[in-house]
Amino acid sequence: MLLRSGSVCKGEYIMKIIDLLKNEKLSLSFEVFPPKTETSFESVKTATEEIAKLNPAFMSVTYGAGGGTSKYTLEIAKNIKKMYNVPTLAHLTCVSSTKETVRERIVDIKNAGIENVMALRGDIPEELQNADRSNWDYNYATDLIKELKAINPDFCIGGACYPEIHPESANQKEDIKRLKEKVEAGCDFLTTQMFFDNNLLYNFLYKIREAGITVPIVPGIMPITNAKQVERAIKLSGSFMPQRFKSLVDKFGSDPDAMKQAGIAYATDQIIDLFANGLTNIHVYSMNKPDVAEKIQSNLSDIIGK
Ligand code: FAD
């Protein structure tokens, strides 16, 4: 059982993720994503509630590209917090949005009593890849962080970081320089893009600490539970697949149950290695799959809280 730190303000319990990250014991957080349509709302809500019952350190709720599902992000985040007292992190993107829309969303988050926001730029939509961006209201996550701080200086703000560099960056030095600016704009902690080789993370950590980025880093682990997911994950993140992982997909890819078991074991192994190397807070990209979240947590039951 995780002990939550926090404080009570006007009768409401305040749970800032930055305080939870001071935990020196292993703790897991889980990510869920909102439904794409009204009809799938109830099934997604049930899945997220099943994950909340595992009592993770916190849960993050992603924000659909383009903001089309924004109301669901907030509804799910509010529900998890209210029903299960699990701290929530509401994601928000800004690219190709107007100041008016983004400000409205921020006020909605504040009024909903959500104190943690993951500030993201979002991917540039394909049709706007070559557009003139000089007159856009927001170009980078840093712009959004400034807006969040201006509306509510009390928000606890997370940002994304990329151990294998962001695909648009020319090189890692440039990427880390921009990351430092993002932190200086008001980022309290950083969550990493998925990675499948922990050495890439250790290397990245060394470089960002050397560059003077001192905020807590939350490694993001994606359990790959079916062969199709591998392709999607590489396409989305550009992550390097170690041979050890490829062999596992070759051997078990055509057997769904075996692939799921092997993928969960691989993710568990990554988490154990991270904890053994001093990283205490791990974010699991649990993708609305309560059974996967539960299995990883139970695999680690004798380690969590130690
Ligand atoms: P930024 O930090 O703005 O960086 C984007 C690029 O711009 C980088 O190459 C950076 O080096 C560069 N850059 C930054 N500032 C400057 C500057 N001043 N001048 C020049 N270059 C600069 N997407 C969603 O749509 N919804 C989600 O909920 C979501 N959640 C995510 C959670 C995590 C943990 C991660 C890792 C990613 C998530 N994404 C999500 C994907 C994310 O939106 C994309 O990766 C996006 O392309 C970059 O977002 P960012 O916030 O990292 O951008």
> With a threshold of 0.85, does the pTM exceed it?
yes
**Across 45-49, 153-157, 188-192, 235-239, least confident range:** 235-239
Q: Exposure of 301 by Cβ count < 10 A (0-12 exposed, 13-18 middle, 19+ buried)?
A: exposed
Q: Is the CB of 186 under 6 A from ligand 1?
A: no
Percentage of residues of the chain with pLDDT beyond 70: 94
pLDDT value at residue 9: 44
Instruction: Pick the atom of ligand 1 nearest to 220's CA.
Output: 34
Query: Which of these is catalytic: 31, 115, 147, 164?
Result: 31
CA of 64 to the centre of ligand 1 (A): 14
Our answer on whether the CB atom of 137 is closer than 6 Å to any ligand 1 atom is no
Can you tell me which atom of ligand 1 is nearest the CA of 167? 9
What pLDDT is attached to residue 11? Answer: 43
pLDDT score of 66: 63
